[in-house]
Structure formats: C-alpha cells, structure tokens
Amino acid sequence: MTAETIVVIGAGVLGLSTALAIQQHLKPGQSLLIVAREFPNTTSINYASPWAGAHYRPAPGKSPQVVREARWARHTYDIFQKIAAEEPAAGVEFMEGIEHFENPPQEYLDAIRDPDSAYAHLGDSLRELSPAELPEGVKWGIRYWAYCINPPVYCAHLLRKFILRGGQTKEYTLASLLEAFHLASNVTTVVNCSGLGFADPKSFIIRGQTCLVRNPSRTTVTRQNADGSWSFSIPRPLEGGTIIGGTKQPHDWNPEPLPEIRATLLANAAKWFPFTPESNGQFDVIRDIVGRRPAREGGVRLEAETVSVVGTDGQTSNRVVVHAYGAGGRGYEISWGVAEDVKGLLLERGVLQERAAL
C-alpha cells in the first residue's frame, strides 16, 4: 500500500486543533503534515492566534451563522473544561466571566430565558446581575463560568502534542492551495485552515489593538458600550499578565499601534475593570499589540471540495480539499467545534477511520 499524506495548511488555533483531531483517526500508513508560513515560535502581525485575547463570551442570536457558531462554541467549551482539568501547562483556566451592557441588544435579553440559547450549556453558573450589582452607566449584566487562555503558551502546547504523536511540520509560504499537494509524497487530502483562504473574495481582515499589562486580575470582564463598541479585560493564565482591549477595525491595514488608542483602552480599564488595589489606576504596560483577525463574510467556510491536481507524470487526478477558515475573532471559542466537523467530513469520505474515544 502506497503511503498517504494529509496536509493541514495553517498553524493557527484552527489548524493546530484540527490537526490534533485528525491525528487520532489516521489509517495505517497515513501521515499528517502541517504546512504553515508561521508557527507558535514566531511573531507576525498576520499570524493572528498568538495576539488574541482568547476568552469565552457566548454570542446569542438566531441567524444560521450564529446558531452554527454557538454549536461549535459549546463543544469547544466542553473540551476546554477537560484541558483545564487534565493539562495545567496548557495555559487554559476557568474563572468568573462578567458582561456589562450599556444598551443591551434584545437577542441577549431573550437568550437569558431561552433553554436552547447560546447560554444553555452554562447551567447554574449563569445569572443576571441585580441592579445593585451594576456599575454606573450599565443597564444589564450577567455572570457565568468562563475560560481564559494564554495564547502563545496554548498554541505551543498544541504543536508539541502534535509532534510528540508523530506529526510533521514544514515552514513554507504557499503561493497556491494546490501547491500543498506537491509538498510530500502522495498527498490526497488537504485541509485549508489558512485564515483568509486563498484569494477568497469574501475574506477580509479586522485590525485589533490591545494592550498587555502586568497587572493581575482574577475575573474576565466584557463591556458593550452604548455606541456598540466593546471593551474587555482578559487575564492570561500562568502569570501572563492581562489583556486590555480592544478595537475591531475592518479592512484597516495599519500595522502600528496608535498611542491614542492605548490611552483610551487604559483609561477605560481604570474606570471599569477589577484590578488589585495596589494598581491604583496605573498600569505596568508590557507591550501594545496589533493583530489582524482573519474574517469572512458569512462566517467560517467549512466544506469539502473536489479539485483537479496535475501530478509529476502530467496526469490529472481528483483530490479532496476541506476548507475551514475565516473565524474572525472567534477562533479559540469555536476551534474544537470546527475541528470536530472537519474530522466528520473526512470520516464521511473515508479518508479517516473511526476509533474508540480514548
């Protein structure tokens, strides 16, 4: 039997999670290769995963995209509970999550009473805040059990697991998705977790600017302001500081952090977020962060496609591509749900084999 290689494009959180999910279902003789421009040991503004805030915040709604993402998020939440309990070095920690709304959208108010909403899996940890618990200017709020992630630590942890289980890696910048079929012997399947895809007209970047400070916090807080913008405070586990954010600026390619944005972020944080008393409204800044979230109109593209590939013998053959990219700012929150669906598509096509859960 000819050895077969499956290639995963991209070493962001979607690519790494998907590679690990696939790895457990390889057939005898199959190997798995991650091909990526950047890996967790590098820092590039276009490699979004290490720059993420990375905490859990449910997103209620009724649109097909929101409902699909909520399903992925529930599965990911369950996996992160297992990781936090069993792999303390992974950089995942559960803590209290608080949300404050100056002008709460109706879908959030409806979801709190809907047993099938994006809040349903939070169980007894979810509760509405009383008027006495709401800070000035806030009309509505909730508390629930959330997770926070230290992204550089977590991505390195995933990559280490992948390699220890026999996975291979190649640092390479692909000019075309089809090029991936020529980077190893007998590549029959490619999983496209490239972030923005390859010239997908629906893909675009969302610039985000945050500030990493040393000041510790034991709670993650998100505040939706009256103008629709968001502010947040996200502790990074394993003494990684706290992320203060943030901005969402679609199609903005400016790579430099803007001092006026930093000033606004920190001023808001001093007013709104719970830091230890010795902070006294002052912040010990580690660095300003600018990253480009790989977003897509309509949300994640997750589907299988048959493509024609010209081999070294000049003959054309049909091969399989599974697309899984365009998560925007929700890569961590939906990562294991997306990975599960990619694995399911490959199982349906007979590329992988079923195995009993470990």
Coil, strand or helix at 70: helix
Cα angle 135, 150, 244 (rounded to 5 degrees) comes to 35
Task: Map tokens 């040393």 to a residue.
Answer: 214
Coil, strand or helix at 71: helix
pLDDT by residue, tens only, the chain of 358 residues: 568 999 999 999 999 999 999 999 999 999 999 999 999 988 899 999 999 999 999 999 999 999 999 999 999 999 999 999 999 999 999 999 999 999 999 999 999 988 889 999 999 999 999 999 999 999 999 999 999 999 999 999 999 999 999 999 999 999 999 999 999 989 999 999 999 999 899 999 999 999 999 999 999 999 999 988 899 999 999 999 999 998 999 999 999 999 999 999 999 999 999 887 777 778 999 999 999 999 999 999 999 999 999 877 778 889 999 999 999 999 999 999 999 999 999 999 999 998 755 4
Give the integer Cα–Cα distance in Å for 323 and 337.
Answer: 14
Domains and CATH numbers, the chain: 4-349 (3.40.50.720)
